[in-house]
Structure 1
Amino acid sequence: MNDALPDGLTTRPLTKADSRILFELITAQELEDTGQPDIEEADLISDWAKPSYDLSASSIAVFDGDLLVAYAELMGADRADAAVLPAHRGRGIGTWLAAWLRDLGTSRGSSVVGMPVPEGSAGDQLLAALGYRIRWTSWVLALPEGREIEHRELPAGYVVREAGETDLRPAHDVLEDAFLEWSVRDRESYEDFAASTFGRPGYAPWNFRVALDPTGAVVGVSLVFISSESPTAYIPRLAVRKDQRNRGIAQALLVDSFDVAREHGATTSELSTDSRTGALGLYEKVGMVAQSVWVNRAIDL
């Protein structure tokens, strides 16, 4: 890297003990850029719980004295994340972090490195100026508080319920098969999935929903969590087996997830989708509305 950090700043890798201060940093950036935070501390803790992930080798934290002012990390081959405290923007820290991420990706043999940024934000503008292209667009959608949830019928003999122990590995297969239809990445191991799901702070069995066909086979999956910071539910993963699509199963899973989240205290429900999936219309059909727009900007190495 040619550019140096401003004088007085120090760096070190993140540790798992940093989850709270990193959550506060990312929250400050999201409030500045979108007006509402989407991150939870549990998101960081669950990502860092994956056995395959080496946080110390994949992250950098930037401090001004004892204050965390910026960070970056690279998960997998090309998924980067970074944030700079709004009061410390304009000092060249973001440019330095982008170069750090490119260097780390190059050292790992990655062909591309990209990260999500709110459309039009300071981070979006910086990456565009550095030559990063848009790979895809994504939306954070919400089911507004008080909106009625219309019941969706399942095909005859199908049920949606809480996952049982024997459903978990088949459910992981359904999720990975579906996401790898459009996502270019290595297949996630069940061990990583289990650590980041069942190891998530506050995890309860009702968080894991499955749709079963008349034989008891898992044909659809939805995960739903409630924020520890607000009465908001979030659905990080939803998938239906390819041969079972266009039968109303995804909508039934969504409605079930909304219902069970409300039963456990949520007043709104959120999820995100991107332009690779073609699922935006599905979520709008069940009453969800876009809250913010993000772009994934990437650069070839």
Structure 2
Amino acid sequence: MPDSSSPWLPVGYRSRPATTADVHAIHRLVAACEHALHGRVTTGSDHITADLALPGLELKSDTLLVRGPGGEPAGWGWVKGRRATVHVHPDHRGRGLGGSLLGWTETRAGRLGGDRLAQTVSDDDHAAVALLRSRGYSPLVTEWLLEIAMPVEPEVPEPPAGITVRPFRPGDEQAAYQLTEDAFDEWQQRRKTYEEWARHTVERSSFEPGASPVAFAGDQMVGAVLSLDVPDTGEGYVERVAVRRDHRDRGIARMLLRDTFRTFHRRGKRTCTLWTHSDTGALSLYERIGMTVRRSSTVYGKALTTGRPK
């Protein structure tokens, strides 16, 4: 599909819907944003692939890729339900492109019948925070990227009585989905379908079963850590942590996490990271096992009315 100009874009910019063929171009754009803000890249290209494959996301109407005067990717965004994402390449900031894309997300969300819209912005991105606040967005929850340094191999405690542990293997998918979504139901607004959950976990090319230990009581999965080995980061990454409610406070999460850390250490990783946020109440757990906050983000939300922003 050819690019087209639009009166709401800055002069010289053109846009079109994103396609799956744009994954690497979008990843380069996102990586440039992360490197400019944080000095390192943490998002893998398979994360972009998973976003573009979200169930219910219509690429032709729910995504937008903006190119600059030279044809280079300058910005992109998507809208699904009450969530939106916008990125603007560092070389194209200060030209009104962020505001234009934000307006597009609100218009699209309104046309989909949404009454609210939210997006996550790094607390280091002061310009984006100021833009959102100027458009009536307010903070909802805080997210933290935690890290643990592993200069020596981490020790792993023995499993509690009656608990066995092994690496994730084929056939565990449905049990892990049920376990993690049951746990996340305590704070998430909407339960994911299996298809949506799998796109961001076990079906990602960076999913690492060997660093994803699962815990059983008899034949019932009661705990799981699902991990990714994201290329070019030099770090291990924990995507999901969950323990069934009736088996909490037994040290299962701590044991599984340290098992994951040890596996990544044996594979040459000296750092492991994960995201958590304020609704989960899990920050203190991670701090007790030696993780520290590397950086934070905030989810900002805004009410929409009759398809138009307030």
Question: Which one of 277, 280, 285 corresponds to residue 280 of structure 2?
Answer: 277
In structure 1, the partner of 2:307 is none
1:167 to 167, 172, 177: 172
Alignment match, 1:60: 64
Aligned to 2:42: 38
- Judged with a 3 Å threshold, the aligned counterparts in structure 2 of structure 1 residues 116 and 291 are, in CA distance, closer, same or farther, namely same
Q: CA deviation at 1:79?
A: 2.0
Residue equivalent to 2:156: 151
Matched-pair identity in %: 33
Equivalent residue pairs, number:
297
Choose 256-265 or 8-17, whichever is displaced more: 256-265
Which residue of 2 is the match for residue 235 of structure 1? 238
| 5+ long unaligned stretches in structure 1 | none
| 2-structure distance, mates of 1:152, 1:145 | 16
Q: Per the alignment, in what secondary structure is the counterpart of residue 156 of structure 2?
A: coil
- Residues 1:137 and 2:142 are matched in the alignment: yes
Runs of 4+ in 1 over 4 A off after TM superposition: none
**AA of the residue aligned to 1:172:** Y
State the match for 1:23 in structure 2.
27
| Corresponding residue of 1:85 | 89
Which one is further off, 47-56 or 257-266? 47-56
Q: Which residue of 1 aligns with 2:253?
A: 250
Residue 9 of structure 2: SS of its match in structure 1? coil
Q: Distance in 2 between matches of 1:293 and 1:145?
A: 21
Shift of residue 150 of structure 1?
Answer: 4.0
Residue 69, structure 1, aligned to residue 52, structure 2: no
Letter paired with 1:86: P
TM-superposed deviation, 1:163 = 2.2
Q: Contact between 2:225 and 2:256, CA under 8 Å: does it hold in 1? A: yes
Distance of 2:17 and 2:212 partners within structure 1: 33
- Give, in angstroms, the shift of residue 252 of structure 1: 1.0
| Alpha-carbon distance in 1 for matches of 2:226, 2:150 | 20
Moved more, 141-150 or 234-243: 141-150
Match of 1:222 among 220, 225, 228: 225
Which residue number in structure 1 is paired with residue 308 of structure 2?
Answer: none
Residue pair 2:201, 2:239 contacting (<8 A) in 1 also: no
Matched, 1:295 2:298: yes
3-12 or 134-143: bigger deviation: 3-12
Residues 271-297 of structure 1: CA deviation (Å, up to 9, x unaligned) = 011111111111111111111111111
Q: CA deviation at 1:262?
A: 2.1
TM-score when normalising by structure 2: 0.90
Change (3 A) 1:245 1:117: same
Q: Residue 4 of structure 1 is aligned with which of 1, 8, 11?
A: 8
- 1:169 Cα deviation from its structure 2 partner: 0.7
Please say if residues 146 and 275 of structure 2, whose CA atoms lie closer than 8 Å, have aligned partners that are also in contact: yes
* CA distance in 1 between partners of 2:57 and 2:212 (Å): 23
CA positional deviation for 1:160: 2.1
SS of 1:197's equivalent in the other structure is coil
Mapping of 1:168-183 within 5 angstroms?
168-183=173-188
Q: Distance in 2 between matches of 1:39 and 1:202?
A: 11
What secondary structure sits across from 1:90 in the alignment?
A: coil
1:139–1:272 Cα contact (<8 Å) kept: yes
Q: Which residue of the partner structure matches residue 118 of structure 2?
A: 114
Unaligned stretches of 5+ in structure 2? 1-5, 305-310
CA contact 1:160–1:256 (8 Å) conserved in 2: no
Secondary structure of 2:172's counterpart equals helix
Query: C-alpha separation between the residues in 1 aligned to 2:243 and 2:182?
Result: 9
Partners of 1:41 and 1:22 in 2: CA distance: 8
Does structure 2 retain, via aligned residues, the 8 Å contact 1:226–1:232? yes
